[in-house]
Structure 1
């Protein structure tokens, strides 16, 4: 599988969970002619065999290499950004939850889930759209995880998917500013993530971003209950050129910290 096929299959899975993305994407295509994907993001636990160190060789097989590391102490996350020699291919942002920093009950739940993973399912890049590789957890367990880490609850319930795709605003023909981009999203009537403001970051950091709130899906849990949970969202990134003339290829931790809130269902509930 080459990188382009990988992203095509990833997009198919992502839009099944995130119907808003297809609608927003088409709106941008109609106005701009073409739309480039700036980056995709993945989530995992820092427990073998699903930790970042175990899975990132799959990215290397697609031609990616490590670029820069990031830490999110409050959210108990570590992450790497990855780049490809082909500048037209999107960047990758891959984070992992530092499970040992959670409470013992939360660790026990996650350890049990990961203990059910069949390592044969981790051998190809298809793992990135494989969904949940463990049995469903109960609604009570989901709630326990949610109290400590929204990230943990999201990953435990949904498994492996692209957490988000991202429109490269700086490559758009018409809507080539973050302000214009979010205006298009509002015209599509999708709510934006307002954590830290609609627009995250400053041009001085060479990257400004915005994102929608995640779509919702009715999810069955192990105890037979069904509940609405957050799935994935769409992001918009405007990059600026550095002194050498190249677009900044990194991420800004302060921005990303707020972007993570796009899957926080309490943001959406606050608007109902």
Structure 2
């Protein structure tokens, strides 16, 4: 006589809270993974170590489970206002080294920076030195800090001296602040980051920072100088990493 064990249907098909469909045959085969989750490998190991009782219920071994099992990895994005950091660097002997600064930020962050962005204005045409610097920013470690560079043209502004009445033309940065604010919101809306590190000090970013914190529930860290970081921005910060405390480690 042949006996056929009838296992409940739910023991053959199980779906957990994060969208994985797991199938198990009578030999205890590994579950089929149907998602590209960052934690899939940990989940697969979790299911492999499971046992099943006669009712089809899943039981865990007594082996200790990793505290990271089933958890998503936090992603951090670093956005830099190039003009702001350049102005801070003027107070240092040779300026700020972006690669050294990135390493300091990653040490404070406790993990690698997922993506980094550099935004600034440049004359048209840019000088050879400026082109070389921007190319270096794009290079990966150990040569460079691996940043995505977004450049805007400097605009001519007609200026009149209020004291003597003398009129002249000067070039000013235009479009960078809007570009940074847009990038902060766009990347947050797309789920690119969980934590933002912003190297900037302009209070004009307050609305963008307020939105990603209150509406999108992102964490915001600021990185700036003690004499140039807007108090309005500081009021929203989950953490402030002072550039002043990082010298001379970030000096060129």
TM-score range, shorter chain: under 0.3
What TM-score, normalized to structure 2? 0.23
Higher RCO (CA-CA < 8 Å; seq separation 6+): 1
**Which structure features the higher share of helix residues?**
1
What TM-score, normalized to structure 1? 0.22
Largest Rg, 1 or 2: 2
